Amino acid sequence: MPIVTISRGSYSRGKEVAEKLSRKLGYDCVSRDILLEASAQFNIPEIKLVRALHDSPTVLERFTYGKERYLAYLRSSLLQHVLKDNVVYHGLAGHYFLQDIPHVLKVRIIADIENRVKEEMKRENISAAEARHVLKKDDEERRKWGLHVYGIDTWDPSLYDMVLHIDRLTVEDAVHILFETIHKPVFQTTPTSQKIICDLALSAKVLANLVTIAPKVNVRSEDGVVVITNTDSALSLTSDLISEIKNIARKVEGVKEVILNGITKGPTQQNHINPFHNIG
């Protein structure tokens, strides 16, 4: 069965759409759950994950390799969660982390600014001017986050299979449209699409385990064979670090073989053999 990702702004009714759709489909509905799983699995305080996901991108610069670490943790948690399918995910970046999986329906929910202002005023007990300022700031922060961390504009409609405007369309209308769409053959899980998500999930899990010692590596996998490539041309890896990378990767459940390659010789290794060459 398929996976649905819903991208939304604050007070756009996207959360409501996600929850009602998941109930109608009988799917799990997840959002903050991903943060909790990442926090528990990698022993990182949830508040740091929350701030990294929702605040200005500059918050990541306060941590060593912050961007690489949090992307790795969140991507791994999300992919592990959706391996079983039957999930509606509403939260930032779901469409980004799952973009290469065919049986994912990627949706953007938007709403009229005046309706959003009224909702903000009611919930926060503030003036219309204050509410408008808060919403515009929040929208801009989310947009900046997408551009800084992923290199994409979350407002770009080409990222989504469908953009729904909650105004003339009600929440119930949106749920009905998505319910009908998700049953189309193009969004059904196939052996090929399931293999894609399994390979991506294993790659993400290995990277999440490596990111604190090798934040600049790229990991890809196919049928349990994991290929790890160093993408930082300025980094010279010691033999001890190479052994550690390999040992950590081998211990990840589902890994059958580890291949290391692609390192660029650093100034201290110009006369040495490429340390990743033919290491399997």
Provide DSSP, 60-100: GGGSTTHHHHHHHHHHHHHHHHHTT--EEEESTTHHHHTTT
Q: Which range, 6-20, 58-72, 260-274, has the best average confidence (pLDDT)?
A: 6-20
Cα(157)–Cα(236) distance, integer angstroms = 41
278 pLDDT above the threshold of 60: no
Task: Please name the amino acid found at residue 253.
Answer: E
Residue 31's pLDDT band, with cuts at 50, 70 and 90, is confident
Angstrom distances, CA of residue 83 to CA of 48, 101, 104, 159, 189: 26, 11, 12, 22, 11
Percent of the chain past pLDDT 90, that is, above it, reads 50
Give the pLDDT mean for 232-250.
Answer: 83
Task: Please name the amino acid found at residue 131.
Answer: A
Give the pLDDT mean for 119-136.
Answer: 93
Residue 258's pLDDT band, with cuts at 50, 70 and 90, is very high
Angle subtended at Cα 197 by Cα 261 and Cα 85, rounded to the nearest 5 degrees: 160
Query: Which pLDDT belongs to residue 245?
Result: 93
Give the pLDDT mean for 5-16.
Answer: 88
Task: Please name the amino acid found at residue 265.
Answer: K
Rg value, the chain, Cα: 21
Query: Which pLDDT belongs to residue 26?
Result: 95
Angle subtended at Cα 39 by Cα 3 and Cα 237, rounded to the nearest 5 degrees: 95
Length of the chain: 280
Angle subtended at Cα 10 by Cα 6 and Cα 151, rounded to the nearest 5 degrees: 60
251 pLDDT above the threshold of 90: yes
Cα(109)–Cα(87) distance, integer angstroms = 17
